Structure 1
């Protein structure tokens, strides 16, 4: 057995052995099996094509029988054997053939006694390969020896030291040679900077961490450090980051092709000229992309990205998680969704539920709740069937987000409670912290700020305890929203400032954009529209940079409210129209409904009640279509205000009654208080003071109970005592 990590030269070594044996007159039989697509299918193809055997029930037994009859002299080479118990079982069975069997893999099976482990490159190997890569693949030994002799002792020693420091990998040598050719860095200068340094890798390969072959993590980290020496422009680094995070099959999608060609042509050309990308990436007639930047090749060589492999599913899940927090570096959810759907066409057995979970999450992120739920429910069933408690807890959490988005808080809370119980049972602190955070959001929506703050405080403690900086930043952000809702803007701003510092420290662009957006809301509430607009402008720039379309739409919406508050309705309407376009473009139904609602308020302020009512009717239809109860309740409330302004109090009360029923149904205390306040005012206006007083007193009770600042302010502003 030949074992080592990807890219070292295992296949090259075995192929050379095969050629040498094949060319010997007395050694006629060399059988080469590429196991990357599954040994069974390979054996069936050989038996069918070379021996005309069809309808094979047991390919392994049939293959051994046929080969034993044909010859008793030869060698069987199994290349690229994956970490799959079934594949290793077949490989062990094939050893019963009456001549030698060589297995080439980055993984090791304990049943193989004779193992050649390629894990060390001698100094002479390093120098030969360095000169080879420095001279565009020159193979002439005399020329290479001449190049080596020209290196001074310091340079020779530095080349070997760098390679040994970075994991004894041929990719490191290739990169060292490229840096030397493209910059003023000699090997000794590179070593001076690398030795004892603490470079932050430019590229965090989150999408493979935890299941790579032994030693791979070190290689990836150090390759990232070496790339930092190349001083690439930030836009080129971002593009390489984006491409290296994607699985191979993502390069078959039309979305990626369009994105690369339309948005990144200049950057692509620059990287091609630097030999970090192959020229084929610029061709229009190719069927798929051949990505040859060194970092991405390293990722795909040390991590198994096989369509029929369990690890591919884990890789997808990590991409989805990265997309959810980091904004996916301008690669849209549409790209990943398209890649996943292509992947799904391979009809593999989703044994652990990861693939269904990934698709469900992507539909959830794009507010396509009806499509998301079946995938997540299938994933939940699989997790429960195989006893995967961690997966079950995560999936319960994800399903809760669908019901929460639809305003079904009772069902959402049931799923979250079950998720929390599982995470605590298996001592999954990260899952527990996330679930506590999500429970707090429902409590906050329902106006129960005290309970929400308790959950968030517990979540914050866990995040700090386990060192989850991203979770800590998000939790601080959520805590700030409670203090803002209670009118304590100073405390809210303190939490937001701490959150912003964390997101900027860890490079969490999506979190930074969201926090800047939320800080703006504090200044807007205080009437400081200049400061609010500054933060919103910064937030918008980040969200546009990372391709966070949902966030971009939300920020445009908030910018419009600044101009609306200053009675600049024309500018406000421009921003809202742009926001609406984005929501419709990405299929964000909830955002579309909210934006239509806000547009209606501009027409209402201008006295155009007919147009305002049209937009509110459209908004109501969308909220009802997607089952977004909170949005439906808010829109019914706003429709009632149109009729109230026109003096049609009867119709206004009908809409308010419906709005109140929905808000009581979903436990939206703040919304319930607003509806009761509006009903009370209408009753007073129509001379029904006793009914009006009852409604207003109920509203006041809610406002005091949940410490609802805005409602308390409105009640205090009445011309009569409640």
Structure 2
């Protein structure tokens, strides 16, 4: 028996129309008094006997809760489970039918959540099977992207592209395609291939407009702004961020609004307008407090620290970095904690307190390694190398530069690779080994 355990998002669930053949359905409600697990998760259990000789889709949708499906065999063993991307649907495709039957569990997979739902057993037509293939590709792609290694990201590119092509083959335009194009843009951006990233984001814009999805269009414009910011075209970046902000506010997405406001602050800070950046960061902090979003508040406080550091007010910068660090630790944001420790180290390095800077860098590196953030590891290791280089410990500095270079290549960070090659060349040059330095400098 082959079970596909991925969820499925029907682009056009034309219930009651000839396109979709529904062989069974149930209208239900999760409510107090239903079956529940030891941790308070409420669920309904349906027996399912199938005689179909083709793939069958179990499809669950709800406007009241985030649906979650579990499929069990006749003996109660779990065969498949899934969640969804968009909070209103879930599904499991059964490729080959087991005549012994199944048990289908409908739940939110969260304690005490209740609400109405619709469960359907559907015989997908040829187009829907292609759509399912597209969806499967995108789910696998997201898993590869989450893994984060260069190899997995390259696989993610292939799978995202494949998924989009499946959808295009049957003329479907949905949120998944827009998400996939944005994910492709993000991966290429992380690889430093900003032209490719921009091309994918620009493909996503008209599709988001076709769907009349202001939030998704705004998020995509936000991503385009970040590309221009990375290209040092700050004014164009600001223009895109402002367009994004209008759409995101229209959609009422407060979290994305906070992200966009922070991005505007970063762009102005990069322009050297740190005072204006501080105004945006203060607005972001206020919004974060209204949402009780401590993680984003920590990000905004860290950005305020960066602005003060750029203004030469290092004591103030340190104060805000410390506040951000406290928040990161309080919410268990280990990646944010590592970033803040790195920022604090940079301040102490600026003070000339090299030993203290190294202590913070090492603490940051330990956490970056623990959370598997190879890009951050490379940045911290490069910063350690700079300190050691400045202290005259050239051999040890070279060792750290080489480690940082390997990590940049591992994650596909072309910009970071260039910086580290340059630093290695400068180190060789500083010790009089110009024959070693020039081949590195000349490298494309």
TM-score range, shorter chain: 0.7 to 0.9
**What residue number does 1:307 align with?**
43
**1:617 maps to 2:362:** yes
**What residue number does 2:114 align with?**
none
Taking the aligned partners of 2:176 and 2:354, their CA distance within structure 1 comes to 48
Cα 1:555/1:383, change in 2 over 3 Å? farther
Cα 1:318/1:677, change in 2 over 3 Å? farther
**What residue number does 1:679 align with?**
424
Determine helix, strand or coil for the equivalent of 1:353.
Answer: strand
Q: Which protein has the larger Cα radius of gyration, Structure 1 or Structure 2?
A: 1
Q: Render the CA deviation track for 1:209-256: whole Å, top value 9, x for unaligned.
A: xxx99xxxxxxxxxxxxxxxxxxxxxxxxxxxxxxxx9979xx99xxx
Taking the aligned partners of 1:598 and 1:411, their CA distance within structure 2 comes to 33
Cα 1:85/1:619, change in 2 over 3 Å? same
Determine helix, strand or coil for the equivalent of 1:687.
Answer: coil
Structure 2: stretches of 5+ with no match in the other structure: 1-21, 47-57, 69-74, 97-128
Check conservation: 2:150, 2:411, Cα contact below 8 A: no
1:354 aligned to which of 82, 87, 90: 82
Matches within 5 A, 1:295-694: 307-308=43-44, 314-315=61-62, 319=66, 353-355=81-83, 385=95, 388-389=132-133, 391-404=135-148, 409-425=153-169, 427-694=172-439
Cα shift at 1:662: 1.6
- More displaced stretch, 425-434 vs 534-543: 425-434
Matches within 5 A, 1:247-258: none
Determine helix, strand or coil for the equivalent of 2:148.
Answer: helix
Cα shift at 1:494: 0.9
Check conservation: 2:388, 2:394, Cα contact below 8 A: yes
Cα 1:398/1:506, change in 2 over 3 Å? same
Taking the aligned partners of 1:306 and 1:85, their CA distance within structure 2 comes to 26
Determine helix, strand or coil for the equivalent of 1:647.
Answer: coil
Q: Larger RCO: Structure 1 or Structure 2 (Cα < 8 Å, ≥ 6 residues apart)?
A: 2
Cα 1:350/1:248, change in 2 over 3 Å? farther
The structure with the largest strand share of the pair is 2
**What residue number does 1:704 align with?**
none
**What residue number does 1:63 align with?**
none
Cα 1:625/1:418, change in 2 over 3 Å? farther
Check conservation: 1:445, 1:670, Cα contact below 8 A: no
Cα 1:657/1:513, change in 2 over 3 Å? same
TM-score between both structures, scaled by the size of structure 1: 0.46
Cα shift at 1:434: 0.8
Cα 1:349/1:516, change in 2 over 3 Å? farther
Taking the aligned partners of 2:306 and 2:349, their CA distance within structure 1 comes to 14
Taking the aligned partners of 1:586 and 1:247, their CA distance within structure 2 comes to 32
Check conservation: 2:138, 2:160, Cα contact below 8 A: no
Cα shift at 1:697: 3.3
Cα 1:595/1:420, change in 2 over 3 Å? farther
Check conservation: 1:563, 1:571, Cα contact below 8 A: yes
Cα shift at 1:536: 0.7
Cα 1:348/1:528, change in 2 over 3 Å? farther
Cα 1:540/1:348, change in 2 over 3 Å? farther
Please give the root-mean-square deviation of Cα atoms over the aligned residues, in Å. 3.7
Determine helix, strand or coil for the equivalent of 1:607.
Answer: coil
Cα 1:414/1:528, change in 2 over 3 Å? same
Check conservation: 1:597, 1:616, Cα contact below 8 A: yes
Check conservation: 2:309, 2:317, Cα contact below 8 A: yes
Taking the aligned partners of 2:65 and 2:305, their CA distance within structure 1 comes to 35
Taking the aligned partners of 1:479 and 1:448, their CA distance within structure 2 comes to 13
Determine helix, strand or coil for the equivalent of 2:44.
Answer: coil
* Aligned residues between the structures: 365
Check conservation: 1:407, 1:629, Cα contact below 8 A: no
Taking the aligned partners of 2:237 and 2:344, their CA distance within structure 1 comes to 28
**What residue number does 2:19 align with?**
none
Q: Render the CA deviation track for 1:189-222: whole Å, top value 9, x for unaligned.
A: xxxxxxxxxxxxxxxxxxxxxxx99xxxxxxxxx
